[in-house]
Amino acid sequence: MTTTVIEVPARTGKAVELRAGSAVKLINTRGSQVVDTWGFNRADLSEHMSMEHTRVMLGRVNPRVADNLFSNRRRPMLTLAEDTSPGVHDTLRAACDPVRYKMLGFDQHASCAENLVAALAALGLSAPHSPCPLNMFENCPVGADGALVVVPPPVKAGDYVVLRAVIDTIVVFSTCPMDVFPTNGADKTPKPVAYQVLPG
Amino acid sequence: MTTTVIEVPARTGKAVELRAGSAVKLINTRGSQVVDTWGFNRADLSEHMSMEHTRVMLGRVNPRVADNLFSNRRRPMLTLAEDTSPGVHDTLRAACDPVRYKMLGFDQHASCAENLVAALAALGLSAPHSPCPLNMFENCPVGADGALVVVPPPVKAGDYVVLRAVIDTIVVFSTCPMDVFPTNGADKTPKPVAYQVLPG
């Protein structure tokens, strides 16, 4: 069974419903694009993918292929089933939001935090709060002194990850609109990505 | 004006109301004890100290003296005003909770997540959700490969930190009950700490 490839335009968000056992392939169509990613238990949105629980459960800052991504109730929610990129992802950084852009001098600027809200609203849903996302493809190494500096992602056009649902999960993707820092490449230009649901 | 030194017994939590400008001195009475620490806006508990926002605002994994600790709305909530310890604190790890202890083989075990709930309840309050704490004194270095391993804290008896409130803040401390790993020292023994409010 072939399913449609759906584009997520630059600077926007999209929510995807995954049944347990099915998966979503997230394709970095043009390369260098960071995708803030959230997971919510379909039956109870107060259970969500949690970076601070995932780090403890994995004993590692960043997930690798075959790792589970855990919820705030320490349940496996998604599995990072495949990754053709160099495997650089971030679990440390809050989603960008209007306050951040205001501090950077922009009164009107798309943000991942707003994209999350809008993507869930398109399904008639709202999350009780805004969890820290898994920043797929974001390159923010931890310096020896603990410094965090975002540098361009080592991701080429066509690289993809596959997330498999362990439980019925709403996955939300946001193509990060950051154009002040090289979050989305040295050209500082947000780009679209695409996804495809893979039935279980 | 001298204020009382209040003990936080081992394995328990305590909530402290701080007016803007006042501070709390947290004393590691016997050394080696980790203290999970939260902050909530007194006027609206949905605004809370956020590790993922603090890391972005500081550009660093861990706060240092004179750093602000930011809320999920990117406002300075507390300032790490003094620190006589070696300055090793953790922002990466979720609070321990009953699920974690069940996985470790304990059906009944005190936890920081429950201590947070109980400490707020003692003031007639409840938080909308359980944010990632600032794990004061916790020693969880990030390995070169991203590995996270908790080792004994380099904190001696009498070391203290001072947190000054930027806005009216409820601070919650939990003396971490972890006794499976050397979180609270090589003796794996949870210990009491103490705090003292310092008027502004």
Structure confidence by residue, pLDDT tens digits, B36-74: 999 999 999 999 999 999 999 999 999 999 999 999 999
pLDDT at A195 over 70: yes
Up-side HSE of residue B97: CA atoms within 13 Å toward CB? 20
| Mutate: best of B44, B50, B61, B75, partner A, most A CBs <10 A | B61
Structure confidence by residue, pLDDT tens digits, B101-120: 999 999 999 999 999 999 99
**Is A55 close to B92, i.e. CB distance below 8 A?**
yes
pLDDT at B88 over 70: yes
**Is B92 close to A92, i.e. CB distance below 8 A?**
yes
Provide, rounded to the nearest whole percent, the portion of chain B with pLDDT above 90: 97
- Rounded CA separation B47/B53 (Å): 12
pLDDT at B2 over 90: no
Structure confidence by residue, pLDDT tens digits, A37-58: 999 999 999 999 999 999 999 9
Mean pLDDT, chain B, as a whole number?
A: 97
- Mean pLDDT, rounded, for A86-97: 98
Q: How many CB atoms lie within 10 A of CB A182?
A: 18
A61, two tokens: 């800052």
- Rounded CA separation B14/B118 (Å): 8
pLDDT at A1 over 80: no
B104-114 per-residue burial string, b: 16 or more CB within 10 A, e: under 16: eeeeebbbbbb
**Smallest CA–CA separation between B1 and chain A, in Å?**
38
User: Given pLDDT bands bounded at 50, 70 and 90, which one contains residue B1?
Assistant: low
Of the candidates A9, A7, A18, A16, the one whose C-alpha atom is nearest the C-alpha of residue A120 is A16
pLDDT at A2 over 80: no
Structure confidence by residue, pLDDT tens digits, A104-128: 999 999 999 999 999 999 999 999 9
Residues of B in contact with A59 (CB under 8 A): 147-149
Of the candidates A149, A98, A114, A112, the one whose C-alpha atom is nearest the C-alpha of residue B73 is A98
Structure confidence by residue, pLDDT tens digits, A127-179: 999 999 999 999 999 998 999 999 999 999 999 999 999 999 999 999 999 99
Is the complex ipTM higher than 0.85?
yes
Give this prediction's pTM: 0.97
Size of interface A-B (CB pairs under 8 A): 82
**Is A146 close to B60, i.e. CB distance below 8 A?**
yes
**Of B60, B100, B129, Cβ closest to residue A147:** B60
Q: Are B128 and B27 in contact (CB under 8 A)?
A: no
**Is B92 close to A93, i.e. CB distance below 8 A?**
no
- Give the CA distances from residue B164 to residues B45, B57, B58, B88, B170, in Å, rounded to whole numbers and listed in that order: 18, 18, 17, 19, 12
